[in-house]
C-alpha cells in the first residue's frame, strides 16, 4: 500500500513539474546567421553567450530552413507551412509586397486564441497583420529596424518592458528577431557592410551602451569552402564577425532579463536563423550553405549539453511550440485543401518519429528574382529541382553590391584567379535537376543526376519530393513541363497536362 502511495506521489510530482515547466517560450532568430560560433566549430568568432546557452541545450547538427529568403522563411517559422502553402512567395516589404493567405493560422494567432501573451521584438517582415497579430510588438513597422533589431540596449529594454507588462499568471510566447548579422551596405553603407560600425561610439555612429565591439583581423578569419579566399572576402567576413559578436551579446542580455524575471526555469528557449549567410551559395540558394541552420533548444532546468544528428527543419518549430503549450493545431482549409503540418515536434526528438528527409521550397526573394526551386535532402543525398533553369540564377541587390560579390565579378571579367570553388557561368546557369552524393561530396560540387549508378536513388527522391508537394498543395507541382488543371471537369481528378515545351 505504502509503495503505491509513494508511486502516486512521485507520478503527481512529475506531472506537476511538467505542467509548471511547460509554461513559456522564447524564440530567438538571427538574420542571415550562420555557423560562426564555437558551438559549431569556429574558434575565432567570439560568441560566449551562445556557447553558454549551448552548454545546456540540445545542439542540432542537421537543421535546415525550408526556404532561403527572409520573409518566406519567417512566415514558415511562424506558420509551420512552406512558403508555397502559406502564400508568402517572396519578400514582404516595399515593392515586393508578398503576404500570407488571410486564412492562415499562424503561431501568434493560435497563441492569442489560447490567451497566451505574445510578443515580437525586432524584425517581423511578414504580413498581413490579421494573420500575424502580437499583443506586444516593436518591429520595423513602427520603429527603425536598426534600433529594434541591432541596438542591443534597446532590445534589452524592450524585453524588460515585455516582462513588466506580463500578467504573471499568464503564459507567454516571446519572439526576439535580431537584425544582425544581416548586411546593410545596400541600405546604410555609412555603418559598414554589416552595420558593424552602428553604435560603436565613433563619430556619427551613435553608441549602444551595452555593446563592447569585438574586432577581427581579415587574416584570422575562417573562410568557408563556398566563399572565395581573397583579401576582400576576408575583410567582409571580419565585418560579419563583429556583428555576430553584437548578436551574441544581445542574446546574453535577453537571457539575463529572462533570468531576472524568474523565467529561466519555466521557459523553452530556441535559437536559430532564418536562412544562410549572405555570400555565394548562401542566402537565396538551396545548396547547404543557404539551407543549413544553427539550432539550439534548451529545456527548463536543463544543465547539460547534448548533440543531435537528427535531421530537423525550421518547419518543426510550430509543432514543437504547440506541443509545449498543449495546443492542438486546428482543422481548416487553404484554397479548398485541408491543412496539415508537415513538421514534427522536437520534444520527442529521441523517439522513433525521426525524419528520413527534410524538404525545401523557394520561389522568389525580391519580386524580380523568380527562380523556383524544390529540394529533398536526406543524410546521404540531396535532389534539387530548378524549375526556371533556362534563366540565369538571379542576384539580389543587397548581395550584388557586397565587396565579396563585386570582387568576384571584377576578377571574372578581368580573367583573374577567383580563388572560388565555382565559376560564375555555372553559378548562373544550372541544370533542371541536381543530385549530390553527400557522403562522397559534402560540398555539392559533382552533379550525379545523369549517372546510371544513381538512377534508383533519383527515382526514389523524386517520388518523395512529389509526395511532399502534393501533401502541401504546391501550385508549382506541374512546372516547368506542364500546367495543373484542378477545377471544372478536373476538380475531382487534378491533372498535370503537358505543355510540349521541350522540357
- Enzyme catalytic residues: 70
DSSP letter assigned to residue 348:
G
List the alpha helices (DSSP H) in 114-215. 145-149, 152-165
Q: Nine-digit cell at 117?
A: 501573451
CA distances from 61 to 41, 321, 470 (A): 11, 20, 28
| Residues 308, 57 contacting (CB under 8 angstroms) | no
CA distances from 330 to 53, 426, 469 (A): 33, 45, 21
Instruction: Classify residue 313 as left (phi > 0), alpha (psi -120 to 50) or beta.
Output: beta
Q: Which of 88, 44, 84 is nearest to 70 (CA)?
A: 88
Cis peptide upstream of residue 480 (ω within 30 degrees of 0): yes
CA distances from 206 to 199, 209, 211, 495 (A): 4, 10, 12, 59
Q: How far apart are CA 284 and CA 373, in angstroms?
A: 10
Cis peptide upstream of residue 48 (ω within 30 degrees of 0): no
Q: How many CA atoms lie within 13 A of 111 on its CB side?
A: 29
Q: How far apart are CA 282 and CA 227, in angstroms?
A: 9
Q: How far apart are CA 112 and CA 135, in angstroms?
A: 8
Q: How far apart are CA 404 and CA 347, in angstroms?
A: 40
Three-state DSSP state, 267: strand
Angle between helices 152-165 and 231-260 (to 10 degrees): 20
Amino acid at each position: 500500500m505504502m509503495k503505491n502511495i509513494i508511486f502516486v506521489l512521485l507520478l503527481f510530482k512529475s506531472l506537476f513539474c511538467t505542467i509548471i515547466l511547460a509554461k513559456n517560450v522564447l524564440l530567438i532568430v538571427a538574420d542571415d546567421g550562420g555557423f560562426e560560433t564555437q558551438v559549431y566549430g569556429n574558434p575565432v568568432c567570439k560568441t560566449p553567450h551562445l556557447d553558454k546557452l549551448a552548454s545546456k541545450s540540445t545542439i542540432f547538427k542537421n537543421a535546415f530552413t525550408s526556404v532561403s529568403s527572409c520573409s518566406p522563411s519567417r512566415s514558415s517559422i511562424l506558420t509551420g507551412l512552406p512558403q508555397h502553402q502559406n502564400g508568402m512567395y517572396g519578400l514582404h516589404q516595399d515593392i515586393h509586397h508578398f503576404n500570407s493567405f488571410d486564412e492562415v493560422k499562424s503561431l501568434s494567432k493560435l497563441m492569442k486564441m489560447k490567451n497566451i501573451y505574445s510578443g515580437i521584438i525586432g524584425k517581423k517582415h511578414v504580413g498581413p497583420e490579421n494573420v500575424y497579430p502580437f499583443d506586444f510588438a516593436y518591429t520595423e513597422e513602427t520603429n527603425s529596424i536598426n534600433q529594434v533589431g541591432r541596438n542591443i540596449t534597446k532590445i534589452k529594454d524592450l524585453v524588460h518592458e515585455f516582462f513588466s507588462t506580463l500578467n504573471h499568471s499568464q503564459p507567454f510566447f516571446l519572439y526576439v528577431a535580431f537584425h544582425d548579422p544581416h548586411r546593410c551596405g545596400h541600405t546604410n553603407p555609412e555603418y559598414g557592410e554589416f552595420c558593424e560600425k552602428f553604435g560603436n561610439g565613433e563619430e556619427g555612429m551613435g553608441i549602444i551602451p551595452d555593446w563592447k565591439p569585438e574586432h577581427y583581423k581579415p587574416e584570422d578569419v575562417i573562410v568557408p569552402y563556398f566563399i572565395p579566399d581573397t583579401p576582400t572576402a576576408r575583410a567582409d567576413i571580419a565585418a560579419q564577425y563583429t556583428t555576430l559578436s553584437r548578436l551574441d551579446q544581445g542574446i546574453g542580455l535577453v537571457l539575463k532579463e529572462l533570468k531576472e524575471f524568474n523565467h529561466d526555469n519555466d521557459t523553452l528557449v530556441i535559437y536559430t536563423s532564418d536562412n544562410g549567410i549572405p555570400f555565394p551559395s548562401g542566402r537565396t540558394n538551396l545548396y547547404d550553405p543557404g539551407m543549413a541552420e544553427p539550432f539550439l533548444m534548451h529545456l527548463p532546468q536543463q544543465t547539460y549539453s547534448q548533440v543531435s544528428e537528427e535531421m530537423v527543419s525550421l518547419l518543426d518549430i510550430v509543432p514543437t511550440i504547440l506541443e509545449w503549450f498543449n495546443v492542438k493545431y486546428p482543422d481548416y482549409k487553404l484554397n479548398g485543401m485541408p491543412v496539415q503540418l508537415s513538421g514534427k515536434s522536437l520534444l520527442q526528438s529521441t523517439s522513433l518519429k525521426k525524419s528520413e528527409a527534410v524538404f525545401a521550397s523557394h520561389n522568389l526573394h525580391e519580386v524580380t528574382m523568380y527562380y523556383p526551386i524544390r529540394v529533398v535532402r536526406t543524410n546521404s543525398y540531396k535532389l534539387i529541382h530548378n524549375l526556371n533553369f533556362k534563366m540565369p540564377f538571379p542576384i539580389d541587390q543587397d548581395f550584388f553590391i557586397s565587396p565579396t560579390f563585386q570582387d568576384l565579378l571584377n576578377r571574372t571579367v578581368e580573367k583573374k584567379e577567383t580563388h572560388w570553388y565555382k565559376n560564375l557561368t555555372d553559378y548562373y546557369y544550372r541544370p533542371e535537376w541536381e543530385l549530390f552524393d553527400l557522403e562522397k561530396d559534402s560540398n555539392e560540387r559533382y552533379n550525379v543526376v545523369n549517372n546510371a549508378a544513381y538512377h534508383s536513388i533519383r527515382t526514389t527522391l523524386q517520388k518523395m519530393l512529389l509526395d511532399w508537394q502534393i501533401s502541401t498543395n504546391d501550385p508549382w507541382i506541374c512546372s516547368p513541363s506542364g500546367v495543373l488543371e484542378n477545377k471544372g471537369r478536373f476538380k475531382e481528378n487534378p491533372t498535370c497536362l503537358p505543355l510540349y515545351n521541350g522540357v
